[in-house]
Structure formats: C-alpha cells, structure tokens
Structure 1
Amino acid sequence: MPAKSAMRIAQPPSLATMAADRLRNAIIDGEFTLGENISEERLCEAFGISRSPVRDALNALQFTGLVEVRPKRGSFVFNPTEDDVAKLCDYRFMLEREAALMAVRDDKDALARQLQDAVAAMVQAHANGDRRAYGHADTAYHAAFFLCCGNGLMRDAYRLAEARLATLRTLLTAPFDERRESGLAQHRDMAEALLSGDTAGFEAMLKVHADWTGRLTAALQSQKEHPKP
C-alpha cells in the first residue's frame, strides 16, 4: 500500500488566497492605476465571491504595500511619492546586488540558465509586442538573483517590495517600445558582467538600471495628467 503521504489530497487554496493572487496580478499588469480606488463590490461581482474573502485578500495585499486600506474610506492601489520611489530604488539595488553576488557564488550554473531564459523570454515578448509577457520576463530576471542566492532571508526581504517593483516596472516600460529595447541590452550586459566575474561593472550597471527616480516621477505625472478613462 502506498505511503500515507503519497495518498494525501492537497488542500486547495482558499478563496481569499485566490482573490489576492488575481488582484495582485491585475495591479502588477496595469489593470489598475496607482492610487485607484478598489471597489469591494466590483471585486465580489468580478470574482463571484462574498465580501469576506475579498476583504481578507485586500488585507493580505496591504501587508506587501501593494494596497492601502483606509478606514471608512476604502481600499486603494499604492501611490508612491517621489521620496517613496527613491527609497524603494535604494532598497532594490542593495538587495539585488548582494543576492546576485551570493547567487554567483552559491549556484552560478542555475543562475546563468535562469538569466538566459528570462532574456530569451523578453526578446520573444518584445518581438511579439506582448508588453505583459515582457514585464513578467523582466521580473523573472531579477527574481533569479534571489532564487539562486541560497538565502531564504534575502528572498523574504525582497518579497516585501517585489510586487510594488513589478507594478512600477510595468508603468515605466509597458507604454514605451524604446525603453524595452534599451532594457534588453542592459539585461544582457548585466548578466555578462556578473557571470564573467566583472563585479564592479555589474554593480555600476545595476546602479543605473535600478535608479528609476527621475523616469518614474515623469511617468507618474503623466498618469495623473492622463488618467485611465
């Protein structure tokens, strides 16, 4: 008779977990604008579920900083200030730099494969004009540092900001073909420097690549001037 563990049926995810995952992806993919009110009623209707799991989902996303729940006012997509963006960029650079160097030391072969796969996916998505797939591949590229670094605490630290970074990445690159084109070159160059042992070169390129402050400020202002209909 098979072992009990082999016969055990895995518990399906809760409605709140599924709702949180769906809403998280929708925000990251730009289906909501920054600062937009998230109607519980519309989410209930769209997901076909009651208010309780929807509220649990919103509270879970609040923990990641992706959603702001304001008592008696409702729930809103996060809406960073220029200072918030600057701090997020600093946090990102610090973590990605250390995780990347740890990944080269801990599992260089796996890191090389994941970076290569991510760049290939970015190339294909750009050629197809698939902005959403490009953003997902871009996010996978940077996540590879943490998947291969061998340190769970580093991964946990990154997850605190990962969804916000992915959302801002969509805002910054999705509408601009030329930014995706230059981004491809940057990702290739960073991978080549990192894997070849050019630590100083990699750090310098990552510093520039991770500094979104000026570009995001302009993009945020453009979004305010041209709100989603």
Structure 2
Amino acid sequence: MRDGMRLEAPRSLTEMVAARLEQAIVDGEFRLGEAISEEMLAKSFGVSRTPVRDALTALQRAGLVVILPKRGSFVFRPTADDAAALCEYRLVLEREGLRLSHQLAPAQTLAAMNGAIAEMEQSLLADAVAYGRADTRFHQTSLDYCGNPYLSEGYRLASGKVSALRTHLTAHVDERRVISLGEHRRMAELFAQGKLDTLFDLLAEHIARTRQVYEEILSAPGPAPRRITLS
C-alpha cells in the first residue's frame, strides 16, 4: 500500500487526556506544584478514572507530573538546581541543533525561525501564553531540521518542562518578553549570516539570563494554587 494512503489510527482516551493535560500544564492553567485531582479531571473530561490515571502516569514519564503514593498527583515543581540543569541541557542540544541545521537545511530552518518570531511579535503585549508557545517553536526549530532523530528526541524529552517553565516563570513579564524578542531576532540574523560562533555566544547569554530568573523565582515562596477549567 502506498504510504500516502495509510489511515492514521485514532488516539485513545488516554492519549487525548494526556495531550490536553500537558497543554494545560504548559499553558499555566495549573500552577507548578499544584495537586491534580483524578476525580475532577474524570468529571471534566466525561471519562472514567482509568484513562486519567494512565495519562498521569505518561506525564510522569515526561517529567511534568509527580505521583506520590498515598498522597496523589502533582504538577512538577523543580528546584533551582533542577532548573539550572535543564538550562545546561538545553544549551548543549540547541547549540548542536543549530550547527547541524545550518549545514543541512539553512533555508528551512531560517524560515521557521522567522515564522516563530512573527508570532512572537503579534502576541508580544497581548497574550503571554501565545508568546510562550511561539518562543518554544523558535527553539525547537533547529532540532526539527538537524537531521539527527536521536538529538531531536532527546530535546523533546525535556521540551514539555522547558515550555512549562517558560510560561510559568518568564513569559508573563512584559519587560522580559521585549528583551527576549530582541534576542530571538538577533539569533535569527546571526544564523542567516552564518556567524555561528557569535550565535552560540548569544544563545548562551540568553539561556543564562533565563536560568537566573528561574533560580530567583524558584528560591522564593510559591503562589497560591489555581484551578484548571477543562473544556
């Protein structure tokens, strides 16, 4: 059978619940460290608790949920050290992704970068969640075109946590978004000019500033929980 004629299998209830819950965590509908009620989710989705429980287990493997025996399920809440390690991981993978994508698919990578920047510009002062999503797409771009599936998959293993931290800790600050947008524009320019060493230096500075913000916020007392509305 021709590949183009294959039918895509429908997603299971567990996959649909996991996808919606992941997006809710990433978009800030749950706060970091907030308790997740299986019963509330099951009622909101109109499903039994079994697919909810399975979805939470899947998200635990992705690092977005922590399940504690006899206590329940919670959105992950990293320590400052955890966030620092995540930033170091990002830098290593993104730098290599940029190098490879510039070799293999520079035009496609740059077009995707500029597309993400355009979305960031549109949502700059109006929608912090949309800005965070576009920011995530910008950084994912080089891994999408790097030509190495292991490198891409390695980045995706942490992308949910990276995206969630971006939304929860930095994207809502208007001044930070303005600075961030300028840095992303400059990174795209350097990529287009082939100035990779300068680009790597800027990327390191960009992630280091993010790391500093994370460490400051995560060392302070957390905000009060907020409930999610699933619809």
Instruction: Answer whether TM exceeds 0.5 for this pair.
Output: yes
Q: 1:210 aligns with which of 195, 201, 207?
A: 207
- What is the alpha-carbon distance in structure 2 between the residues aligned to residue 160 and residue 31 of structure 1? 21
What is residue 229 of structure 2 aligned with on the other side? none
User: How does the TM-score come out when normalised to structure 1?
Assistant: 0.93
For these two proteins, the number of residue pairs brought into alignment is 225
Q: Which amino acid aligns with 1:183?
A: S
- What is the alpha-carbon distance in structure 2 between the residues aligned to residue 32 and residue 178 of structure 1? 23
- What is the alpha-carbon distance in structure 1 between the residues aligned to residue 168 and residue 38 of structure 2? 24
- What is the alpha-carbon distance in structure 1 between the residues aligned to residue 16 and residue 127 of structure 2? 25
| Structure 1 stretch displaced more, 9-18 or 159-168 | 9-18
Q: Is the 8 A contact 2:80 2:219 kept in 1?
A: no
Q: 1:59 aligns with which of 51, 57, 62?
A: 57
* Displacement after TM superposition at 1:164 (Å): 0.2
- What is the alpha-carbon distance in structure 1 between the residues aligned to residue 4 and residue 193 of structure 2? 43
Q: After superposition, give the CA deviation of every residue in 1:56-83 in whole Å (9 maximum; x if it has no partner).
A: 1011111111111111111111111111
Q: Is the 8 A contact 2:84 2:215 kept in 1?
A: no
SS of match in other structure, 2:41: helix
User: How does the TM-score come out when normalised to structure 2?
Assistant: 0.92
Q: 2:141 aligns with which of 140, 144, 153?
A: 144
Q: Is the 8 A contact 1:171 1:219 kept in 2?
A: no
Distance change >3 Å, CA 148–CA 45, structure 1 → 2: same
* Displacement after TM superposition at 1:106 (Å): 0.7
Q: Which amino acid aligns with 1:179?
A: R
Q: Which amino acid aligns with 1:15?
A: L
* Displacement after TM superposition at 1:148 (Å): 0.7
Q: Which amino acid aligns with 2:202?
A: M
SS of match in other structure, 2:124: helix
Alignment map for 1:37-186 (pairs within 5 Å): 37-127=35-125, 129-186=126-183
Runs of 5+ unmatched residues, structure 2: 227-231
* Displacement after TM superposition at 1:168 (Å): 0.5
Runs of 5+ unmatched residues, structure 1: none
Q: Is the 8 A contact 2:80 2:218 kept in 1?
A: no
- What is the alpha-carbon distance in structure 2 between the residues aligned to residue 59 and residue 222 of structure 1? 29
